[in-house]
Amino acid sequence: MDKRDIEALRGTVFCGALLERDGWRIDLRQSTPRAVKYRRAEGEIIIVIHNGKGWFDPLSDAKGDVFSLAEHLGAAGFVAALDLVSEAVGFVTAAPRWERSARAGPMAPIETRWHARNSPRPGSPTWRYLSAERCLPDGAIQLAIDQKLLREGPLGSMWAAHNNAAGQVCGWEERGSDWRGFATGGAKTLFRFGAVGSSRICVTEAAIDAMSLAALEGQRSDTLYLSTGGGWSPTTAAAIDGLVRRPACALVAATDANRQGDIYADRLRAVADEAECHFSRLRPDAEDWNDQLRRLAAGKNLKQ
């Protein structure tokens, strides 16, 4: 097979095709249009990126194109990988329900788009989503609004701001009943909920988890609840490092109760060690803090 044929295969066969043929399935709740998470029963995870042309394993350093994915899945060498990819020609991958058509035309600046959206209010679609579906108490929702952290997204979804150290909006997490994403053109820094200058820093993987943990803890006045939005960029690491380099500061890894959460916790432990601050791991009783909050709410309803 000459180079042109190899490049044609690379442009024709998506990484998702190999994964779905191998028994992997999309985790819709943990996926975005630009990063589709695939899982397998053994607990393995692969994230497909670059419109299906690239992939990486968040639990290791493995990454690459469709041919390296074939080898990662068991093909013994590049020739075997070529055969495996060739067999997937014409395979139609599953279409996630949240998939949106591409936007046309230039995008407005991040802060312009943010301020063009209304804040949630009692009874609004976003408020109902956070209150009824996510079981967040009204006080937690209102506090996040007062801190200028929430906006009404399309179709009753929530936008949760990621700010830099200067308080500027750099992007936002997007969450809804059938939608999960991040602001197009935005940068993941940190969602910061709670008391600025706090000595206790709790890091979660999602803004809704940060607000859920705050609700479960009674909104501790000594705590700043953070979300990385499921990302771990140099900007995110630097932002956390800047927050924990205070006297008597404590860093709490309040990440999910799964393997990915443990890996995030290990990264946070390394940040704490470098900053010479106290570190602890806080695990939810469910997979994440919002799951725990919803279980608690369901239990209370059953007793009523």
Low-confidence ranges of the chain (pLDDT < 50): 101-102, 104, 304
Q: Whole-angstrom Cα distance, residue 134 to residue 70?
A: 38
pTM for the whole thing?
0.71
How many angstroms separate the CA atoms of 10 and 18, rounded? 12
* Cα 188 to Cα 14, 269, 284, 289, distances in angstroms: 26, 20, 24, 20
**Closest to 259 measured CA to CA, from 39, 7, 89, 1:** 39
* pLDDT for res 278: 96
pLDDT at 304: 45
Looking at residue 259, its pLDDT comes to 82
CA distance 178 to 155: 10
What's residue 123's pLDDT?
94
236 three-class SS? helix
- State the Cα–Cα distance between residues 126 and 265, nearest whole angstrom: 30
The answer to whether the beta carbons of residues 180 and 174 sit under 8 Å apart is yes
